[in-house]
């Protein structure tokens, strides 16, 4: 439900014109990124608690999965990393905006 609320906010905010000059938009984006991270962290901890503290997998992955499936998953993970890497400039811009807001020179 919380993720849907964030998505609705993003759709509404995407309809405004000229957002590249609005400083608060970078702050909202940073807060939403942190919120997504904490949601995923919470879900991961809940999954870990529900299955106990003893992981059932092996360091090389599940043994019941075929080699072709493992290869496909590796390539999919590399593709996800490559996709995220293209947005590194946005992260740098958010960090610069937060730095300029938090450490205002007087």
Are both 94 and 43 inside the same structural domain? no
Return the pLDDT at 66: 80
The whole domain housing 87 covers 57-106
Rounded to whole angstroms, the Cα distance separating 27 from 20 reads: 12
Are both 83 and 32 inside the same structural domain? no
Are both 2 and 21 inside the same structural domain? yes
Are both 3 and 49 inside the same structural domain? yes
Return the pLDDT at 9: 80
Rounded to whole angstroms, the Cα distance separating 72 from 78 reads: 10
Are both 28 and 1 inside the same structural domain? yes
Return the pLDDT at 82: 80
Are both 13 and 47 inside the same structural domain? yes
Return the pLDDT at 20: 61
Q: Structure pTM?
A: 0.39
Rounded to whole angstroms, the Cα distance separating 25 from 13 reads: 9
Mean pLDDT by 10 residues, the chain (106 residues): 78 70 72 87 84 63 74 86 76 76 63
Domains: count for the chain: 2
* Helix pair angle (88-102, 23-50), 10° resolution: 110
Structural tokens at position 47 = 């999954």
């Amino acid at each position: 439900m919380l993720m849907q609320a964030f998505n609705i906010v993003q759709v509404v905010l995407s309809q405004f014109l000229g957002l590249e000059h609005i400083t608060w938009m970078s702050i909202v984006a940073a807060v939403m990124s942190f919120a997504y991270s904490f949601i995923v962290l919470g879900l991961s901890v809940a999954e870990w608690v529900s299955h106990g503290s003893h992981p059932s997998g092996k360091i090389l992955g599940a043994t019941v999965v075929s080699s072709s499936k493992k290869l496909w998953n590796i390539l999919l993970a590399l593709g996800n990393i490559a996709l995220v890497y293209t947005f590194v400039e946005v992260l740098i811009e958010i960090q610069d905006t937060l730095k300029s807001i938090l450490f205002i020179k007087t």
